[in-house]
A and B are shown apart, each in its own frame.
Chain A
C-alpha cells in the first residue's frame, strides 16, 4: 500500500510587517518579506506525522501557487521533511481569487496524484479559510476540515473538529481533503540535516498550460470578486492613560460610567 499526501501551502507577506495593497488593489508582495504561512506549518507537521505513523509507503508532496519567491515556502516545507515539491507559477495567476485558487490547486493535486490533501485552516493574508472546502468540492471527495487532531488508518481519516457549540469526531474514507488548526500540534523546526537534504529534493514547476487551465479562468480577469476601494483604518485617537497610584480601578470605573457602560 502506498499513501500519497499533498500539502497545500501559501507564501504570504509577514504578518508582523507593514502589509498594504499594490496599485491594482491586490496584496502587495514586494515591499514586505514573505514566508511560509505560519498556519500552513501545522499542515506540513501533521502530514509528516501521518507519514511517520504509517506502515505504508508514504510520499509527502508540498504544493504552492505563487511567484518565484514562493519557492522559499516550498524549501521550508522540504527542510521540515516533505519529500518533493510542486510550484505552480504563471504570470497570468496574478490577482487570482479563492474560486480561481481552488481551481488551480485541484488541477495540480489531480496531476500530482493524491490519497490525502492536508491544508492549513486559513492563510494569514487573505484569512478566508474556504479554500480546503472549495478544493474538496472540486475534487468530489470528503472534506474533513478544521481538525485539532487527525489520524489515518486503513484508508480512513479521523479527526476532531472543535466548534463553538460542540466538539465533533469526524470520519471519512480516503481520498479526502483535510485542514488542520493551530491546535493540532506545534510544527517542528527544520534540522541542519533537513535543511541540507532539502537542497537535493526535487521541485517541479508547472504553469497553466501544464494544468489545462486557460488564462481567462484565473488572475484578475478571471476573478469572481472585485476589490473596488481600500482605505487605511484611521489611527485611533490617543486615549487617556493613567498610572495606578492605588485608585486605578476606581478611575477606570469612572471612565466606564462616563461612557454609559455601567
Chain B
C-alpha cells in the first residue's frame, strides 16, 4: 500500500488534535508516515502510533523555532524525497498552508487547501471543500504531481488504529533560504484553560449585542458550563471587546463544531462564512429579523442578558 506523508502539528511533543484527525483521513488513502519537527519531535511517536502512523520521521534543530516556515519546508521536502508518498497531508493552520504551498511548488505538484473531507479516488484522493462562505461545496483533485492537501480541524473523527510507529531520524539539509526570516522574539499566548477555538466540540460566541468587553464574562460563563471555546464576531473584535484570535468569520477562524451558540450576533455573511458548517446552530438575539435565525436549529428571540445567564444556571443545575 502506498505511503502518505502526514505533517505533525505539535507543541513540544504534545500532538494537536487536527493531526490525529489527519491520520484518520490518511488511512483512507494509504499508510500514514508522520513527519514531526522541532523540540519534542520524538515524543510525538507514541500518540501517532496509536492513531495509525506506521513510521514517524523526526528531526530537531534550532532553525525550526528561530526562522519562519522555510526550514520546515526543507524538512518536509526531505521527507517527501525519502518516502516518495502518494500524497502529502498538512493541517490547515496559517503556517501549515504556507508550508504545504511552498512544498507543492518545489515538487511540481498542485495544492488544495482547507479540505473538509478526503476520500480515495481512482485517480487519486478527492478533497471536499466548503466555499463562498460555505454556501457551496466542491470536490477537487490535484491533477499534476503528488497531491498536497491541507485539511481543516474537525473534518474527521479521531480514531484509535494501533500501528508500528517506528521512529526514524530524518536527514535534513537546510537550503540557503532557510534563514531568510528571523523570529527575533516570541510571546506565548496565555492559556485560558478553554479548548482551542477551531478544535472545540462546542463554541459559544458573542457579538455586537454583548455590548462591552466587561459583558463577555456572561459568554465565558456559558462556555465554561459546557466546556466550550469562546468566539467573537468581527463587530465585537473591532470594538476591542475580545481578542482577534477568537474572531469567527471570513477574516478570523472558521469553525465547524458539533454545537455553535451565537449570542447577540446578527449573522452577516462575514460571520456566516466562519460558522455555517457547524452541525447544530443555536442563537439568542433581540432582533427577530436577524439573518442568524435563518441558520438555526433553535433560536430564542430575547435579551441575551436575561436568556444567557438563565441558560448557564440551568445547565449547571442539570449537570449537578
Contacts and interface: CB of A to CB of B under 8 A. Distances in A.
Partners in one complex: yes
Interface string B36-68: 000000000000000000000000000000001
A250 B310 contact: yes
B181 A164 contact: no
A143 interface: yes
Interface in B154-183: 177, 180-183
Contacts of A63: none
B101 A130 contact: yes
Main secondary structure of the interface of B (DSSP, over half): mixed
B97 A261 contact: no
B306 interface: yes
Contact of B145 (A128, A224, A244, A250): A224
Interface residues of A, number: 81
A237 to B, nearest CB: 8
B297 interface: yes
Contacts of B188: 165-166
A209 interface: no
Interface string B125-155: 0100011111111111111110000000000
Nearest to B183: A168
B101 A21 contact: no
A231 B53 CA distance: 34
B251 A129 contact: no
A241 interface: yes
A218 to B, nearest CB: 13
Contact of B134 (A39, A164, A230, A233): A233
B111 A227 contact: no
A119 interface: no
B87 interface: no
Nearest to A13: B132
Interface string A149-189: 00000000010011111111111110010000111000000
B184 interface: yes
Interface stretch (B19-27, B206-214, B278-286): B278-286
B190 to A, nearest CB: 11
Given A143-B181, A262-B315, A225 B250 contact: no
B104 to A, nearest CB: 7
Contacts of B276: 233
Given A224-B109, A243-B301, A244-B306, A15 B270 contact: yes
Interface in A213-262: 223-233, 236, 239-244, 246-253, 255-257, 259, 261-262
B117 interface: no
A26 B170 CA distance: 40
Contacts of A137: 73, 101-102, 105-106
Interface of A: 15-16, 19-21, 25, 39, 97-99, 102, 121, 124-125, 127-130, 133-134, 136-138, 140-146, 148, 158, 161-173, 176, 181-183, 223-233, 236, 239-244, 246-253, 255-257, 259, 261-262
26 contacts: A15-B273, A19-B133, A97-B110, A128-B113, A137-B101, A138-B105, A141-B180, A142-B68, A145-B69, A166-B186, A166-B187, A167-B187, A168-B183, A168-B187, A169-B183, A169-B184, A170-B183, A171-B184, A223-B143, A225-B143, A233-B276, A236-B296, A240-B299, A244-B301, A252-B300, A256-B315
Given A140-B177, A142-B68, A239-B293, 18 more contacts: A127-B114, A141-B180, A145-B98, A164-B198, A167-B186, A168-B186, A170-B181, A172-B181, A224-B144, A225-B141, A226-B143, A233-B135, A239-B297, A240-B298, A241-B300, A244-B307, A256-B315, A262-B318
